[in-house]
Amino acid sequence: MLDDIRERFNEAGRLFDFRQEQLAQSNTHMLREAILHSGVIYFVLLVLKFISHLYRIPWTDAIMVPVYIFFFNQRSRLADAELSFKQVRLYSFVFFLCFLTGISVIDLFPVSDTPKVALFPIFLLIFSVYYMDRFSVIAAFEGVYVLVYELLAVFSGQFNEARLYTGVVPYIVSFAIYWSVLGIYTEERRDNRVLEEKSSKDGLTGLLNKVSAEEEMRHYMSHRKEGSACAMIMLDFDNFKHVNDAYGHKIGDDALRKFGEILRRNFRTSDILGRMGGDEFMVLAREPVSEDFLIKQLNSVLMELATARFGDAKGFTCSIGVAIDPQGYSFERLYQVCDDALYEAKARGKAQYIIWSTKHIVPQTNRIIYISSPVKEHREAVKKICGSDYIFIEGKTATESFNDISLYGEKLEAIYFDFDQPGITVSQIREYMNSRPLYTTVPVHDIKLELYEHKDQAGA
């Protein structure tokens, strides 16, 4: 029994923490129903009193009519309103406080010839059925309602043991009703979660499918705290078509399934892992994340994949692009940067990872030129050739330059690139540039050729 209680409260915690938007919609709908149903019950009783009092309405009931009319008019507005969870909470509290206060007045200030009735317990229990929130909030709200009732009983001179029980007993009973309603909510949530998992998971690897992975990543990135870092990681199985052609689709499926297991082992349960289609995978590493952590995990991924074996098939590799983002980029913007990093890994010969990071790009009114060269003299020479009308951004390595150019994008007016860079060949640089559309829209100049032509013109 204790396990059931604990599980129900844990499930409720997940409901209130992660499904507040859905719960707000549900509570808004139930609030509209509560206004309607409370009104129906009240007006049936009002008609009966009207008939029994020779077609007169007691003053205590009359004051409730405009209050109810006000909330009934608000009911139609709630149908089109998109309220947050906290707004619905406040609206519900105010409605039931006003309504229960009015009912308390009817109960505690009866007209002399009016039969004494206790409507307060009925409407207090209605609140337990029609509104769902954390137990502490429900207990606090209903505690306020009961306190108002008992204070009015004291003020009216009718406070006694019976009136005390009239307020306290339904307050306690409401907790049992809350527990039952909570069980319905959590059971429905549990069933929905099972269905969601079946529809959101990739059938082969057990990772999230493309739609679900992107949805979770977008949600996390749009709700993360300012200044918190995350890392987007794209992984592309190298030469997978050859694996299918040479060893058959069963081996290919086994390799993809194994790759999913490797990713789960090397990343945290809090990270978002997805198969984006075919042989493409993606991970969003949540905060805290560092370059050292990523290097360790990615080296492990490459090693485990290289040592995996399925019959005669072995020596699998993948290309990995990483974009660490401490700047709060959107999903779409970071996706483009990460994709560019992946293509650098492919251009460099595959079977490796490339780690980039985002920067704060300040909008510039001046024209921007990017200069990439490991030689300082070359960078300074390009500045002299271009003149002082430009803002110059400099990169000393190919990876740093590719990263910066991806971030600045079409803000650049021209790119001056030294194709003789350590750790990468000219053909690899050209292969990367040919794969990225940006390099067809922004002019790219060979630094050494430009310096040679400038020197030749100066000599002439």
* Phi/psi at 424 (5° precision): -150, 140
In whole angstroms, give the CA distance from residue 200 to residue 247.
29
**Segment holding 323, helix H or strand E:** strand 318-325
Q: Which residues are CB-neighbours of 141 under 8 A, at least 6 positions away?
A: 93, 96, 127, 131, 133
Q: What is the dihedral of CA 140, 146, 150, 155, to 10 degrees?
A: 80
Query: Can you give the residue ranges of every domain in the chain?
Result: 2-199, 210-357, 367-459
Enter the tokens of residue 196: 């969601």
Q: Which residues are CB-neighbours of 71 under 8 A, at least 6 positions away?
A: 35, 95, 98, 99
Q: How confident is the model at residue 188 (pLDDT cuts 50, 70, 90)?
A: low
Enter the tokens of residue 447: 């630094």
In whole angstroms, give the CA distance from residue 67 to residue 199.
47
Token pair 């994949």 in the structure block, residue: 305
**Segment holding 310, helix H or strand E:** strand 309-310
pLDDT digit string, tens, across residues 338-370: 999 999 999 999 999 999 999 988 776 668 999
pLDDT of 199 strictly over 70? no
| SS3 assignment, position 59 | helix
CA 445 centroid distance within chain: 42
pTM exceeds 0.85, yes or no: no
- Residue 325 a catalytic site member: no
Task: Mention the CATH class of domain 367-459.
Answer: alpha beta
- Given 279, 325, 340, 404, which residue is catalytic? 279
The pLDDT, as a whole number, for residue 304 is 95
CA-closest candidate to residue 356, choices 306, 398, 300:
398
Residue 349 amino acid letter: G
Q: Are 121 and 163 in contact (CB under 8 A)?
A: no
Enter the tokens of residue 164: 């005390």
Give percent above pLDDT 90 in the chain.
Answer: 46
The pLDDT, as a whole number, for residue 82 is 81
E strands present in 386-438? 390-395, 412-417
pLDDT digit string, tens, across residues 66-121: 877 888 888 888 877 788 888 888 988 988 888 888 888 877 876 655 555 677 88
Range 210-357: architecture per CATH: 2-Layer Sandwich (3.30)
In whole angstroms, give the CA distance from residue 339 to residue 232.
10
**Segment holding 273, helix H or strand E:** strand 272-277
